[in-house]
Amino acid sequence: MSAPTPGLAVRVPFAELQALLQAILQRHGCSAAVAAVLAHNCASAQRDGAHSHGVFRIPGYVSTLASGWVDGQAVPAVTDVAAGHVRVDARGGFAQPALAAARALVVDKARSAGIAVLAIHNSHHFAALWPDVEPFANEGLVALSVVNSMTCVVPHGARKPLFGTNPIAFAAPCAGHDPIVFDMATSAMAHGDVQIAARAGERLAEGMGVDAAGQPTTDPKAILEGGALLPFGGHKGSALSMMVELLAAALTGGHFSWEFDWSGHPGAKTPWTGQLIIVIDPSQAEGGRFAERSRELVEQMQAVGLTRMPGERRYREREVAGRDGVALTEQELAGLRELAG
Ligand code: NDP
Ligand code: PYC
């Protein structure tokens, strides 16, 4: 669940917010190119009400850049590996500029081979995952992405944390509709939402995490201070989280969620891991009617009573933000202006 920031009070045009975030990121060590990509990503999350990865994350970007843990100037190195395989070394920078650098090549390959994988390593991902896949579906492609993060999730049946919160995002075209998109942590909650609950002084639902002694707790601070999250859905979410470690790290050449040590970089918040994106061209599939079949599926789901598709809440928030501006609190806006200097 992406918890709303309490007291959203001001509305800012998207372009203004994006420019403000870009100024902050450049001032704190990103190149203009990297800052542009991250600012668009973060402003989009705020616009869509994906608050756990909107402007809430900016102080984390700034402290991480200040700590020297991430290279905000990194220029990714793209390798054309094979007919359906592109590799990117993010060179210790962020994952989103690495995706941007390889995007055109991977789309070309998906269209010619029918499927292509984009394997990113040596990368930091501190954002929502849906912005990485949704644009592929807007171009008629199907995309699936996984990224691993930092050790804070206890595998089902284990005693100590090992996995990251390891999200999975999927996007598919749907005739006459916005793409079908879901994006979910494989932990019971995103770490960002635990932080937001702790900041708001709220308790969590049962089953989200354990304290430092491994005992179930509903106190978000106990989870953050020595405790850990649990996978969603017991052994099933745990298996998916394991799959994410394999695909995002073992397959890409990135770090597993436990394999990096940021203790020498106080203020570092961004996991230094890997990301895999699989892009499929459905026009080459049997029948060539994928988007229409998507639509049929959605209609059948609605016919049996479904009133809310994944991604729909974000699209609604996006529509309101397009009309009225992106919502944030006065305190958040003041904090951003201060960081922009
Ligand atoms: P949520 O549980 O809020 O949502 C997961 C998905 O389910 C979304 O697609 C959401 O759609 C959909 N959904 C939610 N409620 C319903 C409902 N009642 N009916 C139908 N669909 C529903 O996401 P998480 O808390 O698991 O993750 C939040 C974010 O954190 C994600 O963007 C994820 O990528 C990010 N994250 C990033 C990490 C990283 O390492 N970079 C690590 C972990 C998480 P909708 O969007 O419309 O609400
Ligand atoms: O919310 O779990 C999370 C997360 C980890 C890294 C970035 N976001």
CATH of the domain at 48: 1.10.1530.10
> Residues 338, 221: one domain?
no
Distance 53 CA to ligand 1 centre (A): 10
Q: Note the ligand closest to the C-alpha atom of 194.
A: 2
Taking CA atoms only, the protein residue closest to ligand 2 atom 8 is 126
> Residues 238, 291: one domain?
yes
State if residue 269 touches ligand 1 by the CB under 6 angstroms criterion: no
Q: Which atom of ligand 2 is nearest to the CA of 194?
A: 1
Q: Which structural domain range is residue 100 located in?
A: 75-186+233-310
Q: What is the rounded (10 degree) CA torsion for 314, 318, 319, 323?
A: 150
Distance 270 CA to ligand 2 centre (A): 8
> Residues 150, 259: one domain?
yes
State if residue 126 touches ligand 2 by the CB under 6 angstroms criterion: yes
State the total domains in the chain.
Answer: 3
CA–CA gap between residue 69 and residue 25 (Å, rounded) = 15
What is the chain's pLDDT, residue by residue, as a tens digit (341 residues)? Answer: 444 555 678 999 999 999 999 999 999 999 999 999 999 999 999 999 999 999 999 999 999 999 999 999 999 999 999 999 999 999 999 999 999 999 999 999 999 999 999 999 999 999 999 999 999 999 999 999 999 999 999 999 999 999 999 999 999 999 999 999 999 999 999 999 999 999 999 999 999 999 999 999 999 999 999 999 999 999 999 999 999 999 999 999 999 999 999 999 999 999 999 999 999 999 998 888 999 999 999 999 999 999 999 999 999 999 999 999 999 999 999 999 999 99
> Residues 196, 164: one domain?
no
State if residue 185 touches ligand 2 by the CB under 6 angstroms criterion: yes
Instruction: Write out the catalytic residue numbers.
Output: 52-53, 193
> Residues 12, 104: one domain?
no
Predicted local confidence at residue 1, as pLDDT: 46
Distance 15 CA to ligand 2 centre (A): 25
Q: Decide: pTM greater than 0.75.
A: yes
> Residues 282, 152: one domain?
yes
State if residue 272 touches ligand 2 by the CB under 6 angstroms criterion: no
> Residues 123, 269: one domain?
yes
Predicted local confidence at residue 5, as pLDDT: 55
> Residues 97, 138: one domain?
yes
The 10s digit of each residue's pLDDT in 1-33 is 444 555 678 999 999 999 999 999 999 999 999
> Residues 45, 147: one domain?
no
Predicted local confidence at residue 328, as pLDDT: 96
> Residues 273, 287: one domain?
yes
Distance 185 CA to ligand 2 centre (A): 8
> Residues 45, 178: one domain?
no
Distance 141 CA to ligand 1 centre (A): 21
State if residue 165 touches ligand 2 by the CB under 6 angstroms criterion: yes
> Residues 102, 202: one domain?
no
- Residue 247: give its domain's CATH number: 3.30.1370.60
Residue among 191, 194, 275 whose CB has most ligand 2 atoms within 8 A, to mutate? 191
